[in-house]
Structure 1
């Protein structure tokens, strides 16, 4: 799954909504559902800690109730444990896919690749979904070895290493350089112009005289951004996004017009196999916070969920 984030610079959101179809987006569509009456029994039998016989085969599972099915591949989470019970339940209820949560540097290094390059960690792993491992500080030497093993495997990686790196500020900075976008959209100058119009200026910290003079002359017009959200290192230098005016309704406070920072997140999916790809857009989230607050999200009570008005 993939998201693109846009913030308005004293303007509306017409640019990101125009170019979103050009961004790669990833989603898993779940369409098949099992029999509700058999869900609890099937899950109890198939879940490892409740399984009476580890060698149960598909046909034996199917005898429990009509519509039941077994799977031989895990949807494997590389995650912090909390907050994903809904996804786990939805995968099981929809298509009877087992999920397993694991710590990045523990269970995965115990796995191996079989002769067909399938990733095996107790069972064959079909999909690896990362909720951890996005910054270098998350990795030990064993973690790097485990990541290499996963990348070499046939398991679907969400994200794979190329998509992972595309989300870093350094790569985004390189995409803003003249001639780079044209490599990915040859013969499509209108698409290149639309995408480039959504970019904020990103600069390296190489301290060239011209850039240093620019920063010293107008320090309030720039910010330092880490490579990944939540990171605290490897900064790049970015144009500061100017706030817009909006109303924020918070508990215990009066409604007032404030200068706010908004972030429009577009969620979707992008599945790639060799040179074929599928891109699907499916959801948006708009978050707003006062420009007086420097950090924090919805869970911390700093940012509020907002509603865009499409015109």
Structure 2
């Protein structure tokens, strides 16, 4: 759809000048990343990649995405609370994927001991693509749902101003005014704030599990700043810090550096490279606590692609969301085809179809941060 904006440009020089203005505005608005060369230093930054023009989204599809998001949240919660479904669905995956197996092992240990937390928080992000129907109309299709470390809410909050500026430079003020304001960092912070409130300890803190070398720190700081404006304090710690300075009391309350933790917000822990044996032990300690985890380990498992594939099977949504036919219909309308690559007849059939028409398929990694999707 970018071609719809391309007609506004007269030549290559105008494009280059407009791009430079857009970059300067992005820097001024705080659409920032740390550079890959100096990821530990806040004073060396670059702009985060962004499109020169805003993406055109049909209003009907935008409304559809709004309408179905609560259904997806309820579905993820239902999956995370259904231990039998998770075990059955992931049984083949944990045999071949050590990372998922380690997550599932912690999940089983927590279930055996008894889940201590009573409040559960999910901050989920749905990713969509448009599919062209036979009549040429676009359809909304969900590619994946992110249940851990869903990022770029902070930077997305600042991007509309950049696109308004670009269109205003081109004297398209009417179009600029149509760009919707979007403040997901505030919404994410409100979710954490509500979990903190329900935990019920005014002096407890929010613990953000962070990577040592974090390029996307400004995205995270936006949420931290929203929380601080509500007088909710956040401390940033690595898994190693939790291992060395974290503890549980007799009621399984979590303390780090002697401070009680109400909410654990993960911006790390979604890739195998994020874990050493020490880090796995720290994750278990966090999961055993009564602090609100965002996400708890069952919700992280609910976001795997194998679970997403299982949800597309006939009758599965109805079993997980009984008595909610309207929600099931809204969810199923967004499903793209999902196919197993497990050994056996079903996997063989999927591979045969993919080889016969590779342009119709996208290969997705099993977990978050495990790589980019690949067109076959």
- Shorter-chain TM band: 0.5 to 0.7
| Structure 1 unmatched ranges of 5 or more | 17-25, 33-69, 241-293, 295-311
Partner of 2:224 in structure 1? 88
In the TM superposition, residue 136 of structure 1 has moved relative to its aligned partner by 2.7
Change beyond 3 A, Cα 1:109–1:147: farther
Residue 99 of structure 1 aligns with which residue?
A: 234
Match of 1:139 among 245, 263, 275: 275
Q: CA deviation at 1:71?
A: 5.0
Contact map agreement 1:102 1:108 (CA 8 A) in 2: no
- Whole-angstrom distance in 1 between the partners of 2:350 and 2:141: 28
- 1:220 and 2:356 aligned: no
**Map of 1:22-171 to 2, 5 A cutoff?**
27-29=188-190, 72-80=203-211, 81=214, 82-83=217-218, 84-94=220-230, 96-122=231-257, 123-171=259-307
SS in 1 for 2:326: helix
Q: CA deviation at 1:27?
A: 4.5
For 2:127, the equivalent position in structure 1 comes to 5
Query: For residues 221 and 265 of structure 2, what CA distance do their matches in structure 1 show?
Result: 14
Distance 2:365 2:251 in 1: 39
Are the counterparts in 2 of residues 76 and 99 from structure 1 also a CA contact under 8 Å?
Answer: yes
Cα offsets for 1:49-96 (capped at 9, x unmatched): xxxxxxxxxxxxxxxxxxxxx9521211002352233332332222x2
How big is the alpha-carbon RMSD for the aligned residues of Structure 1 and Structure 2? Answer: 3.1
Structure having the higher helix fraction is: 2
Please, which runs of 5 or more residues in structure 2 have no aligned partner? Answer: 1-122, 143-186, 194-200
Q: Is the 8 A contact 2:271 2:368 kept in 1?
A: no
Task: Name the SS of the counterpart of 1:202 in structure 2.
Answer: coil
Describe the shift of the 1:128–1:138 C-alpha distance in structure 2 as closer, same or farther (beyond 3 A): same
How many Å separate the matches in 2 of 1:29 and 1:172?
A: 27
How far the C-alpha of 1:190 sits from its partner, in A, is 3.5
**Separation in 1, partners of 2:323, 2:275:** 40
User: Corresponding residue for 1:177?
Assistant: 313
Mark the CA change 1:114 to 1:203 in structure 2 (over 3 Å): closer, same or farther: same
What is the CA-CA distance between 1:28 and the residue it aligns to? Answer: 4.6
Query: Quick one: distance in 1 between partners of 2:251 and 2:239?
Result: 23
Q: Deviations over 1:257-305 (max 9, x none)?
A: xxxxxxxxxxxxxxxxxxxxxxxxxxxxxxxxxxxxx9xxxxxxxxxxx
Q: Report if aligned partners of 1:176, 1:199 keep a CA contact under 8 Å in 2.
A: yes
Alignment of 1:249-288 (within 5 A): none
Checking the alignment, whether the CA contact within 8 Å between 1:74 and 1:127 is kept in structure 2 is yes
For residues 186 and 194 of structure 1, the distance between their equivalents in structure 2, rounded to whole angstroms, comes to 14
Residue 76 of structure 1 contacts residue 128 of structure 1 at CA under 8 Å; is this kept in 2? yes
* Alpha-carbon shift at residue 172 of structure 1 (Å): 0.6
Match of 1:190 among 316, 321, 326: 326
